[in-house]
Structure 1
Amino acid sequence: MEEKLKAVMILKKAANLGDSSIKKMIQAVGSAEGVLKEKAANLLKIEGIGSQRIHDIHNPAYEAAVEEELCFIRNNAIDCYLYDAPDYPYRLKQCLDGPVLLFGRGNICMTQKNVISIVGTRRATSYGIRFCEELIEMLAPLDPIIVSGFAYGIDITAQRAALNAGLQTIGCLAHGLNQLYPKTHKKYTTAIEENGGFFTDYWSTDLFDRKNFLGRNRIIAGISEATVVIESANKGGSLVTAELAHSYNRDVFAVPGRVTDVYSQGCNMLIKTQKAHVLTTAADLIYMLNWELEEKQQQAQQKQLFVTLDEEEKTIFHFLENNNKELLDHIALHCHMPTFKVASLLLTMELKGVVRPLPGKRFELI
């Protein structure tokens, strides 16, 4: 396992390789270790992988940098999550640009299906803070994981409210786990690590840069089934996170406000452009995501008369037969198919009268 981790870290260290390119190379060759051993001529056959990128992965300085980072990881109780490992967040696994390697610290458990991200302005108003706190209090009986960016304003409000409600909360950071920003939030780190933890894909040697927030935002958007925006101006990181979530085919919710309020402009724009559902109460989110306070109703009798399914459709059918209502991303992950492929197959199965769509991009057998 450590050799695989080292190989991934060497590829990650290469200046001209991003997460998507690394995944593409591993998929083509079969393993990260294999990529480092593969002949350059064969790597050049991979679409989008040029000679400069191949040259970069053999920089001898990378191995020393990786050993230094591994030493930091061992000495600071850091968990490593490789993108093809079972403990890697399964929704993030469906994002093409998701980190090939995540670093974590705390007591993170991603087995719960109800995971939402809550983001918003750093200059939250009393209205936004109160709405955020009441939202989480109303959602608490469903035991969701609350994800945010550990920033000022709405982010830390959401994470504090999650702790107060006894919920797991995860902070996604824009720097390595040897730093903390903002420093004034250090007082919350122990409680968060005891009831969740922190994720980042930045190394301890990475310099803190405000540009890192863009990379951090893709983790916030990709790790959850839905992103909630509570107060945002017409520009800012919250809107970037919402746009990313929308591009990942995830549900986005926005709290509407008066057109004259600066920190309602971003939310109103998301609603106006139909990139977000209106969120006025927790009931809106529970309905749209099909979260249920009561036990699931008994599965309806399956209608299979005169229906012919191909092998891929049968795979999806049997998965839903055993799991009742499931998310599109969850179906794709467990059926080992790309999300876009599963979406197309589900549409065909819907036309055949085999499945029906539900709010929150869930599906069930008829």
Structure 2
Amino acid sequence: MRHKNYFISLLAVAMLLTCSHLASAQVAPLRGHVVMVLADGTKTPVEGAVIDVFRTDISGKQETKTDKKGIFRFAGLPLAGTYTIAASAPNARPDALPGVKVGQDRDYELQLGAGGDGKRLTLEEVKAIAARNSGGGGGAAAPRTESADERAKREEAERKNAEIAAQNTKNVNVNAVLNRTFKAGQEALGAKRWDDAITNFKEGLAADPEQDAILVGLAEAFRLRGADRYNAAVKIKGDDAARDAGIKSAQQDWRDAAVAASKAVEIIKKKTPATGPDATARNQQNQNKLAALDVRAKTMFLLVTKVDTTQADAGLVAFQEYMAAETDAAKKTKAHNDLAKMLLDAGAADKALVEYQKILEANPDDVDALIGAG
């Protein structure tokens, strides 16, 4: 069979890489309740009490009021902070609870004293009350001791928060590696430095093997390097060993390209389709999918025709899925002709004829299909 060099076109795809599992718990809820401690020691919920949450490690403040049951909630406060909760209400002595951490699934109780002036505490006054509490002085309810159950919950929450913080730090580092290696790999592809591209893409995948964009780049680099190696090898005259070694290295590149491209397609198929009013995410997802399908089909052409003809059926599926996604009529027709030729070169003449006939039904003057159909 007459050898025909396979024309290689460089794929350029711009993709934003992010690590897939950034932990979301940068903030956590805070909740509690306020009671009025009466002279006989009984407690009643305080509706409308003003709650001030002072961040004491750095400057910051949040506020709210209690509901009919004396309950207050903050949906999300920074996990890293240390807080003092202050409560005040008309005709009551205020209370403050220092050293509070969020995310501990704890219901904090603040106790107001009856017969006070209802003063709303400032940060300096909160600090003074905290100091009196720690020293056993008056002016506010004595500090509450932590029960064994509360301590266990707090320690578990702190452990989980530490794990989240560590994972987020790791993910930030991973994202830096992904973006650096993807950019360097794409630049190397554009400059036809296949070895550099492969090295960079492999480094990125070592950080996160589920990055379909990097897998597409790796598959393309292997495919293009294999084509260069093959074309150089078949030109060697008088040294069969060198020629065979060059062809084998090209074939291995195409095997590696097929593995990377197939994995990229598999990952993309598992992704939840982007939704929402913004079309940017949907368009990017579609482009990524098309790029992966395109590289896989081109790689399968080489794998089937130059390496392993038993992969013809897998190549057929690869081309069919690419053509189903491709919206450019000219590219789709070219891919259909490549599919038919792949089947013909693999010895599947009957299947090739079926594909050529499909092409001619749509375009009776298609020269490649006319020649292929005989």
TM-score by shorter chain over 0.5: no
Higher-helix-fraction structure: 2
TM-score, scaled to structure 2: 0.23
Higher RCO (C-alpha under 8 Å, 6+ residues apart):
1
Determine which structure has more spread, i.e. the larger CA radius of gyration: 2
**Please, what TM-score do these two structures have when normalized by structure 1?**
0.24
